[in-house]
Structure 1
Amino acid sequence: MSRQRVALSVVIPNHNYAAFLPDILGDLSRQHGGLSEVEIIVADDASSDCSAQLAATLLKSMDAAVAEVVCLPRKGRPGLVRNAGLARARGDLLLCVDADDRLEPTFLSALRNALEGNPEADLAYCDYIHEEQDERCTVRFPEYDENLLRMQNILPPAALMRRSLWERLSGYRADTAYEDWELWVQCAEAGFRPVRVAEPLLIHRVHGQNYSNRAVLDDNAAKAAIVLAHPQFFPMATRTWARGVNNGVPWALAAPRGIIPDAELVDRLRKAARSTR
């Protein structure tokens, strides 16, 4: 039961991430400003490693307004698990954070202050640290640009949004491995107003179990699915490229990883294909 109002809900999708849960829940417990108005929902995707039980034990010691584990039938995609967790969330501010990521102590307060200090904004995001094995590098995002979003994913998966924005969206889709990128395209079509916190407050850990590895392996198909789901957002040349991917056209499949081609790049890909014939 909640001791007082829930202002901010944090949804953590989990599937067999028992090794990571102590870190992310520990990071949340150390957030500046405390958790007295924060709800924490661990949405468990039918884990078989006892991580749901571990999460329940760890949540008992956290001084959050609400802390619960929601056990789900197997969904197999983190976006669908996030949808289920968000359907239970009570807060006016909503955040999904992956169980294998880490948060700096000022993460929640900085993003919340960015939104509350800017009534026009409905989503706040920050830079992040990319951590792989023993190496770290800081990823600095550009200020939001709709044209850049058409070509690259320029927002991190952990972004704080107002409920009013979430309610204008259709949720995370299951037909693309780039679930986060597709959601930001939904946000753009809904006319969202993001604000960037220019600090690396999120730590994204890369390891063999990352779901995002699937997107890398299925890069072109995942990007094409985003384009074809939002034909009004992308130019005609890009839609032609996406249909080419689905049809196995070689020049379309030569697009760089992580890039959705604009008209200029589509033209270059076609010319390169003709020159090799």
Structure 2
Amino acid sequence: MDVSVVIPAYNAASTIGRQLDSLACQTFDGSWEVIVANNGSKDETVRVIESFKSRFPVPLSLVDASKTQGAAHARNSGVLVARGKFVAFCDADDRVEPDWLDTLVWALSSDVDVVGGFLEEYEDRVSDLDVTAIYEESENFRAPVHLGGNSAIRRHRFLELGGYDESFRTYGCEDYEFMIRARKARLRIAYVPSARIEFTPTTDFKNVLRKIYNSGKAEVRVWARHPDEFPGRNKLRSVILENFKSATHAVTGFRSNSLKGHARSGVTAAGHLVGVISGKYKGWDEPQFLIAPNK
């Protein structure tokens, strides 16, 4: 089989139908399948998926990924049963474009190991690159290639790296940490902006703050995993200074009516502070791979 599409799902009954409808309209004419990894949903997610099986154009399967909470475990569980040479990832609450899979598979067939598609948050910061833009140097790594909700990888490369670190259980940074390992392993990584999804942003203010805060905490875990990449960053003094600067900027932002960006920075800084304190006094969990990485 050419490619397996893996979708992590948690309480996605209201959204996953739209994503499956989008996948059913793919122009890709190779052999492929869709695997939904149910991460312990308590709503009607399973019923919705089951209702698609008989009318879906390619094999559609459901995997129980409820053992550990988090997208890392869900995606790992999907990859374990995947039959495709390539694995593509998308999220349950977005919608892929009709040529999405075509584009990702084309890129992976061009001597590339990992490919990331268009990410909404980077729209104004990244030029229109193509598959020939291979990121191998440290300074280029912060291009928008995270192995998350719009990406694909050669399955054997994913297994060689051990998959996602499942100690990342809350929102954020499991894809970022994986890609650091991918770069260190000298995988060939490319950004292909023509692989597009219709991104669904979080609009509930409380959920936005929760995601930003959890992502800040998770980023500290990345620093702890890769101190060579972030020397001195995982220090209490560093994040205290960051929080002091954020508080100062918040006052400036209040005066200039530019609160949104400063609020985001402040919540991120708070997540960093809590993460560093937690790691300092409780210690970090060891990396938890569903698949033992090659040494």
- TM-score past 0.5 threshold: yes
Which residue of 1 is the match for residue 36 of structure 2? 42
Higher relative helix content: 2
For 2:183 and 2:19, locate their aligned partners in 1 and report how far apart those are by CA, in whole Å. 29
Matches within 5 A, 1:79-94: 79-94=72-87
Compute the displacement of 1:139 (Å).
5.7
Q: What secondary structure does 2:102 align onto? A: helix
For 1:71 and 1:219, locate their aligned partners in 2 and report how far apart those are by CA, in whole Å. 25
Do the aligned residues in 2 keep the contact of 1:32 with 1:106 (CA within 8 Å)? yes
For 2:100 and 2:124, locate their aligned partners in 1 and report how far apart those are by CA, in whole Å. 16
Which residue of 2 is the match for residue 183 of structure 1? 178
For 1:159 and 1:141, locate their aligned partners in 2 and report how far apart those are by CA, in whole Å. 17
Which residue of 2 is the match for residue 154 of structure 1? 144
Q: What secondary structure does 2:18 align onto? A: helix
Counterpart of 1:196, as a letter, is Y
Higher relative strand content: 1
TM-score, normalised to structure 2, is 0.71
Q: Provide closer, same or farther for how the CA distance between residues 212 and 184 of structure 1 changes in structure 2, counting only shifts above 3 A.
A: farther
Q: Which runs of 5+ in 1 are unaligned?
A: 1-5, 131-136, 260-277
Q: Between Structure 1 and Structure 2, how many residues are aligned?
A: 237
Superposed CA offset, 1:77-120 (max 9, x none) = 1111111111111111011211011111010001111221x12x
For 1:205 and 1:211, locate their aligned partners in 2 and report how far apart those are by CA, in whole Å. 13
RMSD: 2.9
Superposed CA offset, 1:238-273 (max 9, x none) = 33221337xx851144588479xxxxxxxxxxxxxx
Counterpart of 1:222, as a letter, is A
Q: Provide closer, same or farther for how the CA distance between residues 71 and 174 of structure 1 changes in structure 2, counting only shifts above 3 A.
A: closer
Counterpart of 1:27, as a letter, is S
Q: What is the aligned counterpart of 1:126 among 117, 124, 129? A: 117
Counterpart of 1:38, as a letter, is W
Q: Percent identity?
A: 23
Counterpart of 2:78, as a letter, is G
Q: What is the aligned counterpart of 1:225 among 196, 221, 240? A: 221
Superposed CA offset, 1:177-211 (max 9, x none) = 31111111111111111122232612221125898
Q: Which runs of 5+ in 2 are unaligned?
A: 128-132, 247-263, 270-295
Do the aligned residues in 1 keep the contact of 2:8 with 2:71 (CA within 8 Å)? yes
For 1:229 and 1:122, locate their aligned partners in 2 and report how far apart those are by CA, in whole Å. 23
Matches within 5 A, 1:55-74: 55-64=49-58, 66-74=59-67
Does residue 115 of structure 1 match 2:108?
Answer: yes
TM-score, normalised to structure 1, is 0.75
Report which stretch shifted further, 82-91 or 162-171: 162-171
Counterpart of 2:113, as a letter, is D
Do the aligned residues in 2 keep the contact of 1:128 with 1:140 (CA within 8 Å)? no
Do the aligned residues in 2 keep the contact of 1:27 with 1:103 (CA within 8 Å)? yes
Which residue of 1 is the match for residue 234 of structure 2? 242
